[in-house]
């Protein structure tokens, strides 16, 4: 990221369906200790719903911010098992991961449904982390850019200009998630560059240049520096490596080192 860039790196941990309340406390305490005071890199942890309240207590007044992994796009009502944006706000949640490929695949979430969630998140002052990405067969068929652009435009449909820069995009090639296979920095940059270009078409250059585009998919301390060195990679959405405080802290440090 050039020093003239208005974008601050964002490192977000997606804990997925991992960690009891007790385990969540054990994981977040060393993170708060090590990187909770610096303000150069924006740090977000996304525990499961059941651990949000405890983690909220532990990160209060630090630079570790709280994210959720989903929401339901209604204010309240007969939606057994679901969680509203207002319920998340009450727990001091400020980010929410939406459209993760696991939700698209296992829970049949469509682009239209994800778009509803994005808009409801924004109306409730939550920053959506909108996930997009192609499967291996789509990549092999040369369809990556087309798929990613379609998901991006559909996910952001009717998002107003004044709210757009609260949206974070996460490019996560599905074949790289949890597999140990990372996109090369060049492969990732090609897609990130195209995402930025599409954002410019939709929202104009000023807003597009202020929006953060994260890379996700087997990002680890040993490959973070070269990914973060790409001009349109503004941070990471981290699964596996966010479940261990030491490796997550190293990722934040990799982003801090790029700043210097």
Spot the catalytic one: 100, 109, 192, 253. 100
* 132/177 with CB nearer ligand PGA: 177
What would the DSSP string read from start to end of 173-192?
-GGGTTTSPPPPHHHHHHHH
Under the binding rule (CB under 6 A), the answer on residue 217 touching ligand PGA is yes
Backbone phi and psi for residue 18, each to the nearest 5 degrees, phi listed first: -135, 145
The length of the chain in residues reads 260
Contact present, 43 and 252 (Cβ < 8 Å):
yes
Under the binding rule (CB under 6 A), the answer on residue 218 touching ligand PGA is yes
Taking the complex as a whole, the smallest distance from the CB of residue 74 to ligand PGA amounts, in Å, to 25
User: Cβ-closest residue to ligand PGA?
Assistant: 239
* 84/218 with CB nearer ligand PGA: 218
> Token digits for 96?
């929410």
Radius of gyration for the alpha carbons in the chain, expressed in angstroms and rounded: 17
Taking the complex as a whole, the smallest distance from the CB of residue 70 to ligand PGA amounts, in Å, to 13
Task: Give, for 40, the enclosing helix (H) or strand (E).
Answer: none
Under the binding rule (CB under 6 A), the answer on residue 107 touching ligand PGA is no
Taking the complex as a whole, the smallest distance from the CB of residue 182 to ligand PGA amounts, in Å, to 8
Under the binding rule (CB under 6 A), the answer on residue 48 touching ligand PGA is no
Tell me how far apart the alpha carbons of residues 254 and 251 are, in angstroms, rounded to a whole number: 5
Under the binding rule (CB under 6 A), the answer on residue 134 touching ligand PGA is no
Which span (28-36, 88-96, 155-163, 212-220) binds ligand PGA, by CB under 6 A? 212-220
- String of b and e for 183-210 (b: at least 16 CB within 10 Å)? bebeebbbbbbbbbebbeebbeeebbbe
- String of b and e for 45-66 (b: at least 16 CB within 10 Å)? bbbbeebbebbbebbeebbbbb
Asked if 100 is an active-site residue, the reply is yes
> Token digits for 59?
């990160």
Of residues 234-253, those binding ligand PGA (CB under 6 A): 237-241
* 177/245 with CB nearer ligand PGA: 177
Q: What is the DSSP pairing of strand 127-132 with strand 64-68? A: unpaired
Of residues 138-197, those binding ligand PGA (CB under 6 A): 172, 177-178
Which span (17-25, 69-77, 138-146, 232-240) binds ligand PGA, by CB under 6 A? 232-240
Backbone phi and psi for residue 60, each to the nearest 5 degrees, phi listed first: -60, 140
Taking the complex as a whole, the smallest distance from the CB of residue 175 to ligand PGA amounts, in Å, to 10
Among 1, 10, 14, 117, contact with ligand PGA (rule: CB under 6 A) = 14
Taking the complex as a whole, the smallest distance from the CB of residue 10 to ligand PGA amounts, in Å, to 13
Contact present, 156 and 114 (Cβ < 8 Å):
no
Asked if 123 is an active-site residue, the reply is no
Catalytic residue numbers, as ranges: 100, 172
Which residues contribute to the site for ligand PGA (CB under 6 A)?
14, 172, 177-178, 216-219, 237-241
């Amino acid at each position: 990221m050039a020093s003239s860039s208005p974008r601050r790196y964002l490192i977000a941990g997606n804990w997925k369906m991992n960690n009891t309340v007790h385990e969540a406390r054990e994981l977040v305490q060393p993170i708060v200790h090590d990187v909770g005071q610096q303000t150069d890199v924006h740090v977000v942890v996304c525990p499961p719903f059941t651990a949000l309240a405890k983690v909220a207590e532990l990160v209060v007044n630090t630079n570790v911010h709280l994210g959720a992994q989903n929401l339901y796009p209604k204010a309240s009502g007969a939606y057994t098992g679901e969680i509203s944006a207002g319920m998340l706000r009450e727990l001091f949640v400020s980010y929410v991961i939406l459209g993760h490929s696991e939700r698209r695949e296992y829970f049949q979430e469509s682009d239209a449904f994800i778009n509803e969630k994005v808009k409801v998140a924004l109306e409730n002052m939550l920053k959506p982390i909108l996930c997009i990405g192609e499967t291996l067969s789509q990549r092999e068929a040369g369809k990556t850019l087309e798929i990613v652009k379609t998901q991006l435009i559909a996910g952001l449909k009717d998002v107003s200009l004044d709210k757009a820069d609260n949206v974070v995009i996460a490019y996560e090639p599905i074949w790289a998630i949890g597999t140990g296979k990372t996109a090369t920095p060049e492969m990732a940059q090609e897609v990130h560059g195209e995402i930025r270009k599409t954002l410019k078409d939709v929202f104009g250059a000023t807003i597009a240049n202020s929006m953060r585009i994260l890379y996700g998919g087997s990002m680890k301390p040993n490959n973070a520096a070269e990914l973060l060195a790409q001009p349109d990679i503004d941070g990471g959405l981290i699964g596996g490596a966010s479940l261990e405080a030491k490796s997550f802290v190293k990722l934040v440090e990799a982003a801090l080192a790029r700043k210097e």
